[in-house]
Amino acid sequence: MKAILLLLTLSFSVFALSINDSLLKVHATLVPKIYLMDYKFKDKIHNNTISIAILYQQKEYRSAKKLKKLIESKYKDGLNSYKVEAKLVNYSNTNLAEANVYYLFPAKKSNIKKAIRRASIDNSLTFAYQKEDLQYGVMISVDISKRIKPLLNLEAISMNNITLRPVLIKISTIYIMDLDSRLKNLDIRGFYLFLPMYLAQVTIV
């Protein structure tokens, strides 16, 4: 456990490579380890294997393939006593995916939402390549400054009845959705339910 926490808070030189390559290497290391922070992960895995679905649009196929290779190389001998398996899934086949972790490359909002709904069926974690997608309900991304830190959307995690170990929450940055993003994600019925709360926070001059 101590070794996992050390790697989760490890500092990276993100400027040594192109940002794309840097992020993929960081994500390849973190995604399987973060899954072990789910209290109930043992009840969800099959055949002693942590399964990761990498969802992509066609234009990101090469990057998705590279991430898969990085994960398989990093965890060729497994993680603790578990095997790690990564598979590529085009967003057009989201409904056919089945995994413990859904890794989402950038896509239009409808594809992100579809992947989130699919992940909820499996009670799985969702991890976004870009942190901006947390506004749509993705659970986890990465906050990059001088130190790499997990970025947690605790609201989304709670809504999916997932409980993460407190030690992960302690070392992470907590994502808080701003009001504008909340309004963009509400349907018309939700808008009218949320409107009084929104107006209560607006200062009238």
Q: Are residues 123 and 35 in the same domain?
A: yes
Alpha-carbon dihedral sign for residues 127, 128, 132, 136:
negative
Instruction: Tell me how far apart the alpha carbons of residues 155 and 137 are, in angstroms, rounded to a whole number.
Output: 8
* Model confidence at 194: pLDDT above 80: no
Q: Are residues 7 and 67 in the same domain?
A: yes
Is the pLDDT higher at 176 or at 191? Answer: 176
The domain in which residue 197 lies consists of 178-205
CA distances 120 to 54, 97, 98, 100, Å, are 16, 12, 11, 10
Task: Give the CA radius of gyration of the chain.
Answer: 17
Q: Are residues 49 and 114 in the same domain?
A: yes
- Among 50, 40, 109, residue whose Cα is nearest residue 74: 50
Predicted TM-score of the model (pTM) = 0.80
User: Is 22 in a helix, a strand, or coil?
Assistant: helix
Q: Are residues 96 and 184 in the same domain?
A: no
| Residues found in the chain | 205
Q: Are residues 167 and 182 in the same domain?
A: no
Number of domains in the chain: 2
Q: Are residues 45 and 84 in the same domain?
A: yes
Q: Are residues 153 and 121 in the same domain?
A: yes
* Model confidence at 39: pLDDT above 80: yes
Is the pLDDT higher at 202 or at 62? Answer: 62
Q: Are residues 185 and 146 in the same domain?
A: no
**What CATH number has the domain bearing residue 42?**
3.40.50.2300
* Model confidence at 195: pLDDT above 90: no
* Model confidence at 114: pLDDT above 90: yes
Q: Are residues 166 and 95 in the same domain?
A: yes
How does pLDDT run across 147-190, given as a tens digit for each residue? 889 999 999 999 998 999 999 999 999 999 765 555 555 554 44
Q: Are residues 51 and 91 in the same domain?
A: yes
